[in-house]
A and B are shown apart, each in its own frame.
Chain A
Amino acid sequence: MADTDLLRDDAKLRAAFKAGERQALSEVYRVYYSVAHNVAGRGFGNFRGFWNPADREDAVQAIFAAAFEPKARDSYNGLDPYTAFLRGIGQNVVRRMLERDARFKRTDGQPELEFRPPDDTEQDLIDAETHTVVRRFRESVSEPTESAILDRYFVEGEAEEKLAEGMGLTRYRVRKVIALLDRRMRRFLKQHGLE
């Protein structure tokens, strides 16, 4: 596999990114999201990652917020892969989170780099059963337009404008379907006693 790195290899994007242009930041966020997510979710060194989605996603946001600071954007040299650069920022951000938050403090005086949930097999089984039930919602959406919008908007995160353009629908129509799907999801959860 070729050693490619978007921000390193695309000088125009890099210049726009360094200038803080919104479109460039958006592209960098989308392309490198998984890098920040892996640092927060899988960890590094002795840190095995945040198990809780709230902490994990808080860390992802903090990593990108730090990476989008003017000083951090300026300091990327454009020669090394941005993946490695972002990973470095991510590790520093996570270390600071672990140091700052008393929830992550260990009592043995060692740096807190391991924060894992207690084993709870029973709860895991209940969760697995619940998720099996909930996954049936996806199968209940069979109308082609609704199914496509469910996939493209909710799963893949495509923007409304692009969706409307790509599907030959008005934006109003797309919004109506999104709202309809949202109502159906909430109703489904309620019917199964999950909301």
Chain B
Amino acid sequence: MSSANPTRACEGARHVDRYLDPTVRWTAAADAAMRGHLRTCDRCRGDYGRRVTLHRAMLGADLEMPSGFERGRMETALLDAAAPAPAPWWRFAVLPALAGAAVAVALWVTNAVPLPTPDPADYVGTRGGPSDEVTVGIGLSGVVAGREYEVVEGALYLDDALRITTSREVDEPDHAFIMGFQNGVTPIFYWPDPDNGELASMVVPRERSAALRAAGESIQFDLAGSHVAGRLVVVALFTPEPLSVAAVQEALGGFQMGEADRPELAAERLQATGAVVRSLSIDILPGSRRDASP
């Protein structure tokens, strides 16, 4: 069954793992994602309480009060939001390389076959520059009656479903934030899904052409209802740490899809997040592939 807002696997345990792991950097986005999830998930809220209490007991600390380590995590998250530290040097190194380019686009069209090596002919835009190696990417395919079909000539059909795949060949960036933009349509959140309590980007597997999955099953998004016929720009932001919905919205600023002639502008704006940006552009046609195919 396809859905624009599919049920997702519970993320809480992974958030708490990272929260209590001193070898993992903690950020405002990670904190917001974890606490946002805990507000909506009884099971994870209970699990958080059990695990932080065990952590405190192991340290011989007060069980009612966060340990110094936890308070450090909380403080870092808060200060990152209230008074961000200067951006790390690598952003200054990477962003200028990206800024001159229009949009980093890797149209890795996928089918039921392994992801091919990107073919220059598939690219519908320019890459970020020589320093932006293609080590992460996204692909799109259509799904009708449970069968996946290739995006032929850059088009999908409105009555069908959309399947998104990610490809990652490096350890980091490992988190992906994937959105869709169309004229006259509110920006569409594919991954994470804020309506489902997901408030920050999530890890995608280090694989080529891995479909977005939840609860062990690949996700597909019904296009009808949440999309319209016309141009669709899908933008993926890859970062080494979780990227919050709030940070993405801030980067988008006053971008009004209804007023914009070019949804591609969204991808340009999103470069302000400091993420590695991949976007691709396709047409959504009325009807179904089933009707269009011979």
B59 contacts A155, C-beta separation under 8 Å: yes
Chain A proximity of B45: nearest CB distance (Å): 4
B254 at interface by CB-CB < 8 Å? no
B57 at interface by CB-CB < 8 Å? yes
Chain B residues in 8 Å Cβ range of A57: 35, 66, 70, 74
B68 at interface by CB-CB < 8 Å? yes
The list of the 7 closest CB pairs from A to B, nearest first, reads A157-B68, A22-B83, A68-B82, A138-B60, A134-B57, A156-B68, A131-B57
B23 contacts A21, C-beta separation under 8 Å: no
Interface residues of A in 164-186 (CB under 8 A from B): 175, 178-179, 182, 185
Chain B residues in 8 Å Cβ range of A175: 23
For the complex, give the distance between the alpha carbons of A41 and B49 in Å. Answer: 14
Q: Other CB < 8 Å A-B pairs besides A26-B79, A131-B53, 8 of them?
A: A25-B82, A54-B49, A68-B82, A155-B60, A155-B68, A179-B22, A182-B21, A185-B58
Contact flags A133-155 to B (C-beta < 8 A → 1, else 0): 01101100000000000100111
Contact flags A29-54 to B (C-beta < 8 A → 1, else 0): 11001000100010000000000111
A159 at interface by CB-CB < 8 Å? yes
Chain A residues in 8 Å Cβ range of B66: 53, 57
A22 contacts B60, C-beta separation under 8 Å: no
Partner of A134, one of B38, B58, B65: B58
Chain B proximity of A194: nearest CB distance (Å): 6
Chain A residues in 8 Å Cβ range of B22: 153-154, 178-179, 182
B48 contacts A33, C-beta separation under 8 Å: no
Chain A residues in 8 Å Cβ range of B46: 52
For the complex, give the distance between the alpha carbons of A57 and B35 in Å. Answer: 9
A65 contacts B82, C-beta separation under 8 Å: yes
Chain B proximity of A137: nearest CB distance (Å): 4
A158 contacts B68, C-beta separation under 8 Å: yes
A22's nearest neighbour on chain B, judged by CB, is B83
B290 at interface by CB-CB < 8 Å? no
For the complex, give the distance between the alpha carbons of A182 and B19 in Å. Answer: 12
B41's nearest neighbour on chain A, judged by CB, is A54
B291 at interface by CB-CB < 8 Å? no
B72 contacts A159, C-beta separation under 8 Å: yes
Chain B residues in 8 Å Cβ range of A21: 83
Contact flags A117-145 to B (C-beta < 8 A → 1, else 0): 00000000001001100110110000000
For the complex, give the distance between the alpha carbons of A25 and B72 in Å. Answer: 13
A20 contacts B83, C-beta separation under 8 Å: yes
A3 at interface by CB-CB < 8 Å? no
With known contacts A68-B82, A155-B59, A157-B68, A194–B54 Cβ distance under 8 A: yes
Interface size on B, residues (CB 8 A): 40
A60's nearest neighbour on chain B, judged by CB, is B74
B58 contacts A135, C-beta separation under 8 Å: yes
Contact flags B33-77 to A (C-beta < 8 A → 1, else 0): 001001100001110110011110111110111111111101101
B60 contacts A135, C-beta separation under 8 Å: yes
With known contacts A131-B63, A155-B67, A157-B71, A61–B31 Cβ distance under 8 A: yes
Chain B residues in 8 Å Cβ range of A37: 65
B16's nearest neighbour on chain A, judged by CB, is A54
Chain A proximity of B199: nearest CB distance (Å): 13
- B-to-A contact residues, CB < 8 Å: 21-23, 31, 35, 38-39, 44-46, 48-49, 52-55, 57-61, 63-72, 74-75, 77-79, 81-83, 85
A159's nearest neighbour on chain B, judged by CB, is B72
B38 contacts A41, C-beta separation under 8 Å: no
A41 contacts B83, C-beta separation under 8 Å: no
A101 at interface by CB-CB < 8 Å? yes
Chain A residues in 8 Å Cβ range of B68: 153-158
Chain A residues in 8 Å Cβ range of B75: 26, 29-30
B31's nearest neighbour on chain A, judged by CB, is A61
With known contacts A65-B78, A155-B68, A157-B68, A137–B58 Cβ distance under 8 A: yes
Partner of B38, one of A58, A127, A130, A131: A58
Chain A proximity of B60: nearest CB distance (Å): 4
A53 contacts B78, C-beta separation under 8 Å: no
B23 contacts A25, C-beta separation under 8 Å: no
With known contacts A29-B78, A61-B74, A53–B52 Cβ distance under 8 A: yes
B79 contacts A29, C-beta separation under 8 Å: yes
Chain B residues in 8 Å Cβ range of A29: 75, 78-79
For the complex, give the distance between the alpha carbons of A64 and B64 in Å. Answer: 19
B72 contacts A150, C-beta separation under 8 Å: no
